[in-house]
Amino acid sequence: MLSFLLWLPVIGASIIGFMPGKAESGQLRQITTVFAVVTFAWTIWLLTQFDITHSGWQFAEYLPWIKPIGLSYSLAVDGLSLPLLVLNALLTIIAIYSIGENIERPRLYYSLLLLINAGITGALVAQNLLLFVIFYEIELIPFYLMIAIWGGEKRNYAAIKFLLYTAVSGLLVLAAFLGIGFLNGVVSFDYDTISTQGLSLTTQLVLLSVLLVGFGIKVPLVPLHTWLPDAYTEASPAVTILLGGILAKLGTYGLIRFGLQLFPETWSIVAPGLAIIGTISVLYGALSAIAQKDIKRMVAYSSIGHMGYILVAVAAGTQLSILGAVAQMIGHGLILALLFHLVGIVERKVGTRDLDVLNGLMNPIRGLPLTSGLLIMAGMASAGIPGLVGFVAEFIIFQGSFSAFPIPTLLCIIASGLTAVYFIILLNRTCFGKLDNNLAYYPTVSRSESLPAFVLTIIILLLGIQPNWLLRWTEPTTNQLAVDVYHTEQVAINISN
Amino acid sequence: MDFSSTVASQLHAGAILPEGIVIVTIMAVLIGDLIFGRSSSRWLPYLAMFGLFNTLVALFFQWSNPNAIAFLGSFNGDNLSIVFRGIVALSALVTILMSIHYIQQSGTSLAEFIAIMLTAVLGGMFLCGANELTMVFISLEMLSISSYLMTGYMKRDPRSNEAALKYLLIGAASSAIFLYGMSLLYGLSAGETNLNIIAAKITAINGVQSLGLAISLVFIIAGISFKISAVPFHQWTPDVYEGSPTPVVAFLSVGSKAAGFALAIRLLTTAFGSLTEQWHFIFTALAILSMVLGNVVALAQTSIKRMLAYSSIAQAGFVMIGLIAGTDNGYSSMIFYLFIYLFMNLGAFSCIILFSLRTGTDQISEYAGLYQKDPLLTLCLSICLLSLGGIPPMAGFFGKIYLFWAGWQAGLYGLVLLGLITSVISIYYYIRVVKMMVVKEPQEMSESVKNYPKINWKLPGMRPLQAGIVASAIITSLAGILSNPLFTLSANSVATTPILQSTVITQEIPQNIIHVSSIEDSKSEVN
């Protein structure tokens, strides 16, 4: 069942890529939509079949592949990866519609889009460490090409920077996995046979820190984040939605899955440091966003901040905080996608992203009233206004982390106030004020352009009002996870006593 | 007196049947050229390919030959040699595919070229199984001298002449050093030329380590690393690769290199079994230098042939990790990587040949905007280059993973980490070419791409080139995912090769001795 999810987009990509004859951009878009929608429907069906009382792996598939290096084709999902799968499928559809209909080189564009979808699905369902690395690195080239071909002015610089950072991230993860696999003694990288319990504390610390840096580049954590503003700003809106909405989540997913879950004993040692780095990320993201003059850059920095919350929550490692982390991953994915989609519309229609030039878009006749209305909604969701999904996630995180790290949590709460500050700046400069009468002849926003934003807004609103629809899939898994961590910590303490 | 027949039965001449086929093919090609003249070039390459194909089939039936040691111990047809001979023959087969049009267009004789190429193959194949000092040197020279000739084959092109001269001078010098090392070995072992006997005699006469042995080791490594272009002995590579005809470069980068690695494994594990630590140390240094210099200098190249020259130096550094690991997994990962390397590199070179046939240049900047004019070439070259960079799910990724995994298992953490870091560097320069071809806008197209001729596959010799490109691109993209047969093959060839298994055992013996002696100690205490 998971194989279908994984291979369907690949089949779609090859059909689009190798389809004979000259294909119209619109026609290719339709084919891509069909594949993306079927994939999405399949994930929804998986969601209905998912047993939410069960905390372990479900829908497992296993095929031996290359025995000598311990690589097997082994897939499964649990409550941690399933919501992200849904997010991935949803954002792929959104990404199809957040770029203009007539793009250059549509064939390559749409096949890369589907390949990215397949790669992320693969990384989320892989139950073998090497298989995970394969899918993790597969993302490299499609994203590079996506940024380098359909990007802004400085796209070459941004794309190469992204490529090198991500390649380094991939090799660190690979190095750590080779270390885990070899020290484990058995020639197998299957997730279930891997355990770090027999390793000495120092070895575990070394492996864990390599993993943290590897995933930290992708998240990104503050000292490793410098690729992000360039890549997010230079990429087209659709690519940014995928980059920030789901690719960054692979980093946090990796932290929970391979950091917290594989190193439960060592986690408590690195956790305080991680909480501090997370808090710095949150503050840095918020303060840098306030200083920006470009709305896309502003949203990019806000993304650094919001990913910081996840780190604090994962570091705390309580039942509630891990649940909050997963909720924040989904919430942030949805909100970021909405924001970037709207910013993309504004840029396409108005022709600028500069805060000093934009003005008065709320004007009901000559402005972009609908877009700016939704933008206000998205800004509020991002800033953590109750009733929207951002608040739910942040609140669970704060409540869950407070017992473990009170001061970082308090600082995060302050930073969430700063988030409101820069979103108010953004909304004030773009939506309110007066239109410039000489320049304001904007094209109308078509229905297919605003539809994705509507869908996202409704989901954000629904999950904000009824958060249980978001949390019920994850709760048993995260509870089990936190119990495991707590349990092994207790054991470690008992042994040392 | 049935003397002659016993000798004949001891010779086991069947072990060199594959080489016999190559010899017959050379003869057929040469004589065909003499009789039919230029008109023969229409069918001669196919005859040569047919001969090489039969060689591969013959190699297949030689698998696990019980009479592997042939010619009174001077040739060893074990599975290790079969695998390497297969790589050499296969690389020549693909090289001939891509050289037909290239050589014909240059106005030189195709048959002579193919004959020299096949002679090089013959030398390379004998080198893979040579088990005796004289035999090693003769086959090495056979490979080298044919390579010099091929390098200077475009005799009206000053660059080709310069490359040949450079290659000849350095090659002959390194052969002389190699020969000096071997003569020392002959003297140290009191007149033995057989590699297996040398190992036993040397330790018996000189003890485990002697200065003479060390000097001989260093001289021999100088000769070997010339063939595999490991870093201090690599200087010929960039110049020769740039100057020589591209098909020759393709063969040198795969066939000649594979033969060099086969020689390294055989010579170092048998004759220098007692000096394992020392040659591991030297090769570690060579691997570090090759990976760093090869990958870093490749960043600054403007000609794609030169870039691939440095890349092949770096790739040799990666392969050396397997050699240094010295375990079953290490050797088999080398074989696996060389197999995959064959298709990646030959595919990349075929694309370069095709591009330079159509535009007459091989500057990287001239590839700008190629995707519009020639999507097939762009796709195949991108696949091969990304595979060389080790991007999943191409074959090169699996090859590198296996090498690094074997290295990690053998405890070579530093080397593996360096390999990982330099692979990131390599991604940068491989992707630079992909960027030129794919990312550039139509208005950024280079002059040669603007004037790109209409693609015509009907020209003589173009179909084989196309077949070569498409086949290597397909194999490069699928050989990783479907790599199980290849994994089994390389693992089997190592597991069933007596010389490698005996080195593994000799490494374990000391532990057993300690174990036994400690038991005896405890017994004597009891008594």
Chain A within 8 Å of B329 (Cβ-Cβ)?
yes
Higher per-residue confidence, B277 vs B123: B123
Overall average pLDDT of the A142-169 stretch: 92
Closest B-chain CA to A136: B392
Query: How far is A242 from A113, CA to CA, in rounded Å?
Result: 9
What confidence tier does A183 reach under pLDDT thresholds 50, 70, 90?
confident
Contact B402 A160 (CB under 8 A): no
Query: How far is B160 from B12, CA to CA, in rounded Å?
Result: 42
Distances (CA, A) of B509 to B115, B500, B512, B513: 48, 15, 5, 6
Chain A within 8 Å of B478 (Cβ-Cβ)?
no
Contact B427 A163 (CB under 8 A): yes
Residue B517 pLDDT greater than 50, yes or no: no
Contact A163 B416 (CB under 8 A): no
Overall average pLDDT of the B104-110 stretch: 89
Query: How far is A347 from B7, CA to CA, in rounded Å?
Result: 87
Contact A378/A459 with Cβ under 8 angstroms?
A: no
Contacts (Cβ under 8 Å, ≥6 apart) of B450: none
What confidence tier does B512 reach under pLDDT thresholds 50, 70, 90?
very low
Q: Which of A209, A214, A178 minimizes the C-alpha distance to A194?
A: A178
What confidence tier does B508 reach under pLDDT thresholds 50, 70, 90?
very low
Q: Report pLDDT for B524.
A: 44
When the pLDDT of each residue in chain A is averaged and rounded to a whole number, the result is 89
Contacts (Cβ under 8 Å, ≥6 apart) of B87: B254, B255, B258, B335, B338, B339, B342
Q: Report pLDDT for B4.
A: 58
Supply the DSSP symbol for B434: H
Contact B427/B341 with Cβ under 8 angstroms?
A: no
Residue A493 pLDDT greater than 70, yes or no: no
Q: Report pLDDT for A453.
A: 92
Q: Which one of A73, A107, A135, A141 would you mutate to disrupt binding with B, by most B Cβ within 10 Å of its Cβ?
A: A141
Residue A468 pLDDT greater than 80, yes or no: yes
Size of interface A-B (CB pairs under 8 A): 74
Q: How far is Cα of residue A323 from the mean position of the Cα atoms in its chain?
A: 16
pLDDT in tens, B372-399: 899 999 999 999 999 999 998 899 999 9
Overall average pLDDT of the B258-277 stretch: 89
Residue B506 pLDDT greater than 50, yes or no: no
Q: Report pLDDT for A433.
A: 86
Q: Report pLDDT for B1.
A: 45
Overall average pLDDT of the B491-513 stretch: 64
pLDDT in tens, B446-455: 888 889 998 8
Please tell me the pTM assigned to this model: 0.92
What confidence tier does A184 reach under pLDDT thresholds 50, 70, 90?
confident
Chain A within 8 Å of B427 (Cβ-Cβ)?
yes
Chain A within 8 Å of B299 (Cβ-Cβ)?
no
**Least confident segment among A65-74, A86-95, B138-147:** A65-74
| Alpha-helix runs per DSSP H in B189-235 | 195-206, 211-227
Higher per-residue confidence, B73 vs A159: A159
The label of the residue with tokens 């090198």 reads A164
Overall average pLDDT of the A1-15 stretch: 92
Query: How far is A296 from A18, CA to CA, in rounded Å?
Result: 35
What confidence tier does A317 reach under pLDDT thresholds 50, 70, 90?
confident
- Could you tell me what percent of chain B has a pLDDT over 90? 65
Q: How far is Cα of residue A93 from the mean position of the Cα atoms in its chain?
A: 15
Residues of chain A contacting B417 with CB distance shorter than 8 Å: 175
Query: How far is B309 from B250, CA to CA, in rounded Å?
Result: 10
Contact B83/B335 with Cβ under 8 angstroms?
A: yes
Q: H/E element holding A60? A: strand A58-66
Q: Which residues pair with B70 in a beta bridge?
A: B75
Residue A488 pLDDT greater than 90, yes or no: no
What ipTM goes with this model? 0.91
pLDDT in tens, B271-303: 887 788 889 999 999 999 999 999 999 999 999
Length of chain A as a residue count: 497
Residue B74 pLDDT greater than 60, yes or no: yes
Contact B223/B146 with Cβ under 8 angstroms?
A: no
Residue B514 pLDDT greater than 50, yes or no: no
When the pLDDT of each residue in chain B is averaged and rounded to a whole number, the result is 89
Contact B428 A160 (CB under 8 A): yes
Q: Which of B358, B370, B359, B235 minimizes the C-alpha distance to B306?
A: B235
Q: Report pLDDT for A434.
A: 85
Q: Which of B462, B428, B238 minimizes the C-alpha distance to B353?
A: B462
Q: Which of A132, A141, A160, A336 minimizes the C-alpha distance to A234?
A: A160
- Could you tell me what percent of chain A has a pLDDT over 90? 61
What is the identity of the amino acid at B307? M
What confidence tier does A167 reach under pLDDT thresholds 50, 70, 90?
very high
Q: Report pLDDT for A489.
A: 60
Closest B-chain CA to A185: B409
Closest B-chain CA to A73: B481
